[in-house]
Chain A
Amino acid sequence: MKRALALAVFAAAPLASQAPTLKVDPAWLKVDSGSRVEFSLVAGLTTANGGMNFNGASAGGLTLTVPAHWTVILHFRNNDQVLPHSAMVIAAVTPVPVSGATPAFEHAVTHRADQGLPADGHEDVQFVADKAGSYLVYCAVPGHGAAGMWIRLEVSSTATQPQVAATPPKTQ
C-alpha cells in the first residue's frame, strides 16, 4: 500500500491547463449544389474548456466561412454528457453576451436556446446568410458563451466556396 501510494503521488501532475491543438475534420463541412452548405456543429465534442466548446474549439478557435447569400444548415448535436447546450448565430461583439442575445439571421438558433438541448439532443438549424459580416456561433444557455463557448462565422461577399479552419482563440 505504501509503495502504491508513493507512486501515485509521484505521478501526480496538473491537468486541464493543457491546450491540445484543434484537429479540423474536413467531414464537418459538406457543400451541396445550389449555394447550400451543411456543417456538423457538435457541442462538447471534446473535454476542452470543460466541454464548453463547439467541435473542440472555444473562444473563436474555429472559423466557418460561407459565401454571402448561401443557405447554411447547422447539424447541431450536444455531445456533452453533463451540461445542456444550444447554438445561436449572433453578431460578433465584445464581450460575448452572458444571455439575452438575438439571432443575427432569421431561424439561426436552436429552438430552446436558453435552456439548451440535453445530452445527445440534436436539431438542424437552417438559415440564409444574407448579410456579409463577422458573426459568432455561440451557446445561448446563460453564461456558456461568456465562458468561451463560441466559434466564428464569417459571411463573405468575396468567398466563392465555404471553408472551415482553426483560428487563434481569443485569450482572456
Chain B
Amino acid sequence: MVLAIGLTVVLAHTTGAGAAVPGATRLRSYEAGYAVTTHVATPSFARQTGLACSVCHTHYPELTATGRAFKLNGYVYRRADSLQGRSPEGQQNLLLNLVTPLSFMFQTSYTATKKAQPGTQNGVIFFPDQLSLFTGGEITPHVGGFVQVTFDPQSGSLGIDNTDLRYANHTTVFGSHTTYGLSLNNNPTVQDVWNSTPAWGFPYGSSAAAPAPLAATQIDGTLGQQVAGLTAYTLWNDHIYLEGGAYRSAPVGTTRPLDATAAGVLSGVAPYWRAAFPNTFGSQYLSIGTYGMTMKMFPAGVSGPSNKFTDIAFDASYLLPLGANSFTTDATWIHETQRWDAGGAANTRNTLNTVRFDAMYHIGHEYAFTVAPFVTTGTADTLLYAPAPMTGSRLGSPNFSGVIGEVDVMPWQNLRMQFQYVYYGKFNGAKSNYDGSGRNASDNNTVYILFWLLF
C-alpha cells in the first residue's frame, strides 16, 4: 500500500486527474489507485482483545459481526491487562494496554504474466512485497484506531498507509440502542465495516508488478493517502447505518502548503456519504447500501478551473454460515460521472462504471476459495486512454473485464499462502491488440503467489 503513496504522487504531479493519465504514468497511477492493494488484520488488536483473528475475521480483512462491532465501537474492546492512572481527585485519566500495541506484516511474492512485459524479465520476486508496521487499539475508553506504516521495496521508502482514528459512544434513540462516532482517516471507505466497499474489498492482495488497466474511479482507491477526512456515523438498532463527512487534499510527499506546483488538489472539501441496511435472516446476514463522493479537482495548482467527479455506488455483503464453514459474497457497482471543464480529457463529459463481485467459500479458517469477476466500462476518450505499448489503449477505451480465481491456505491464522490467478477477457478496450502494439488482453493474465506473515 505504500506503493500507492509514491505512485499516486506521480499522478498528482502529472495531471491531477484520477481517472487516467497518459502513457506509463497512467498505468502506474492506476496501480496506485486500485491494483496494488493489500488489506490486512492487525495482530495488535488480537493482543488487546485476547481473541483469535478468526473471531473478528472470516478471512482477514473480511469482518465478522464481532469485527464490525469492534471497529464501530472505536477499537476499544479489551480483555488484556491494562494500566490505569487516576488524578488526585480519583478520576481515571489513563488507561493503557500493558501489551505494546505493535504488530508487523511481512509479505513476499512471485508474479508471472502469461507474456513478459516488453523488455522486462518475467517472473518477479518481491522480498519483501510489503513490510508494514501497525500500531492500533484503544487509546482512551472511547477513542481508538490504527496506523499502518509500510516499507515499499521498489522505492525503498517508508510511508504512511491506511489510518483510521475514531471516537465512538452509545445512546438510545427511539428506544433502540444506537452507536455513534467520528472517524478521522486518510482513505475514503477505509472506515467502512463492510468488505464490499473499495478500501477493504477483494482482492486482499494483488501484484505490484503485473500490468493493470488504465481506468479507476476516484473513490476506488485513487484518493487513498492523498486526502484526510472526518466523518460522523451512527448505527441505529443494528439495522440502519448512516455516515457523512468530507475530505480535503492531504497528499504525502508534497511540499506544504500546496501551491502552483501541486496537481490533483481538491477544491475545498469533497463530501462523502454512506448508508447501509444490515439485517439477518435466520443465520444469514445481508447488508445492502450505498456510498459515494463528489469533488472538484484542480488539474494543476490550487486555483482556477476545476474538473468535477461524482461517484455514486451501491454495495451488498452476504454471509451464510455452514457449520464450521461459511460462504460470503461482496459486490459493488460504482458509477462515476466526470466533467472535464478544466481540460485533461478529449471529451468534456465522461463516465466510468465498475462492477466487482466476489464469492468466497471458507473451509474453517484454514482454506478459502474465491471467484471474483470484475468489469469496468466507460466513455472512450483518446486523450485519457491513449495508445501506448502495453499500457495504453488502441481504441481509447477504459473497458476491461476478467475474473480472479484464488485459493488461500492458512495453516495458522497469522500465516497465509495466497495463490491467485487473474484472467483478462478485455484489457484497455480490446481482447486482442489492445494497445496497438500487438499485445493481447490474455498476455496480462497473471499468476500471483503471496506469502503473508502477521505477528
Binding site for B on A (CB under 8 A): 4, 7-9, 11-17, 49-52, 81-84, 97-100, 111-116, 118-121, 141-144, 146-147
B73 at interface by CB-CB < 8 Å:
yes
Select one of A81, A84, A143 contacting B52, CB under 8 A.
Answer: A143
Q: Report, nearest first, the 4 A-B pairs whose CB atoms are least far apart.
A: A143-B55, A50-B79, A100-B324, A118-B238
Contacts between chains A and B (CB distance < 8 A), count: 118
Known A4-B88, A51-B77; judge A144-B66 contact (CB<8 A): yes
Closest residue of A by beta carbon distance from B98: A14
Q: State whether A14 touches B85 (Cβ < 8 A).
A: no
For A16, the chain B residues whose CB sits under 8 A away are 78-82
Max chain B C-beta neighbours (<10 A), residue from A9, A141, A142: A142
Partner of A13, one of B84, B87, B88, B323: B84
**B70-A99 in contact (CB<8A):** no
Q: For B87, give its contact among A8, A51, A81, A147 (CB under 8 Å).
A: A8
Tell which of B55, B237, B238 touches A142, judged by Cβ atoms closer than 8 Å. Answer: B55
Q: Is B258 an interface residue (CB 8 A)?
A: no
Give the contact-size bracket for chain B: 35 or more
B321 lies within 8 A of chain A by Cβ:
yes
B177 touches A120 (CB 8 A): yes
**Inter-chain contacts of B323 with A (CB < 8 A):** 99-100
Chain A nearest CB from B142 CB (Å) reads 11
Whole-angstrom distance between the Cβ of B39 and the nearest chain A Cβ: 20
Given A114-B283, A143-B52; A8-B85 close (CB under 8 Å): yes
Chain B residues lying within 8 Å of A147, measured Cβ to Cβ, are 50-51, 55, 79
- Flag if A83 contacts B66 (CB, 8 Å): yes
- A17–B81 contact, CB under 8 A? yes
Q: Is the CB of B85 within 8 A of A12?
A: yes
Q: Which residues of B contact A15 (CB under 8 A)?
A: 81-84, 95
Question: Which residues of B come within 8 Å of A, CB atoms?
Answer: 49-52, 54-56, 64-66, 69-70, 73, 76-88, 93-95, 98, 170, 172, 176-177, 179, 237-238, 280, 282-283, 285, 319, 321, 323-325
Q: List 19 A-B contacts (CB under 8 A).
A: A8-B93, A15-B84, A16-B78, A16-B79, A16-B81, A49-B79, A50-B50, A50-B79, A51-B77, A81-B170, A81-B177, A82-B73, A100-B321, A100-B324, A114-B319, A118-B237, A121-B177, A142-B54, A143-B66
For the complex, would chain A's binding face be called helix, strand, loop or mixed by DSSP majority?
Answer: loop
In the complex the two chains form, is B94's CB within 8 Å of A12's CB? yes
Contact B66 A119 (CB under 8 A): no
For the complex with contacts A7-B88, A147-B55, 13 further pairs of A-B residues with Cβ separation under 8 Å are A4-B88, A12-B83, A14-B82, A15-B83, A16-B80, A50-B50, A83-B69, A84-B66, A99-B321, A99-B323, A114-B285, A142-B55, A143-B64
* Contact residue among B82, B85, B86, B283 (Cβ-Cβ distance under 8 Å from A112): B283
The answer to whether A82 and B70 touch (CB under 8 A), given A14-B98, A100-B324, A114-B65, is yes
Contact partner, B77, options A13, A82, A115, Cβ 8 Å: A82
A120 to B98, CA, bound (A): 30
A17 to B83, CA, bound (A): 11
| Known contacts A16-B82, A143-B55; A83 and B177 CB within 8 A of each other | no
